[in-house]
Structure 1
Amino acid sequence: GWTGGAGDGEVGLSAGARSASGGLDDAAITEEDIAAGRYDAAEVELWRVDWMRPDL
């Protein structure tokens, strides 16, 4: 699971700052890849979606 952390947000299109911690399980991501820095420049996109009203 994931645990939400502190964050700030603003009205508008500018990006806010968020943090989260949790586990990720995927056989394609190996310990060797992480140690080699393969994911050091990885980016994560976070979308807040109301699945009951995706038109919003």
Structure 2
Amino acid sequence: MNDHSPVPAGWYRDPLGLPQLRWWNGLSWTNRIEEHRPEIQLATPEPIDSRLVGAR
């Protein structure tokens, strides 16, 4: 029985440490590369203090 689960095909960080993504075909690395675009962190608004809502 194999204890290792196969890694699904997809874009992963380049195993050579380059700032790009490389396509893993499920069996081996390919020559297909894409520019690595870090995820954008969106700012989340602060919760409104309920004591201030409607206060005058």
**What TM-score results when the alignment is normalised by the length of structure 2?**
0.23
Higher helix proportion (structure 1 or 2): 1
Higher strand proportion (structure 1 or 2): 2
Larger radius of gyration, structure 1 or 2? Answer: 2
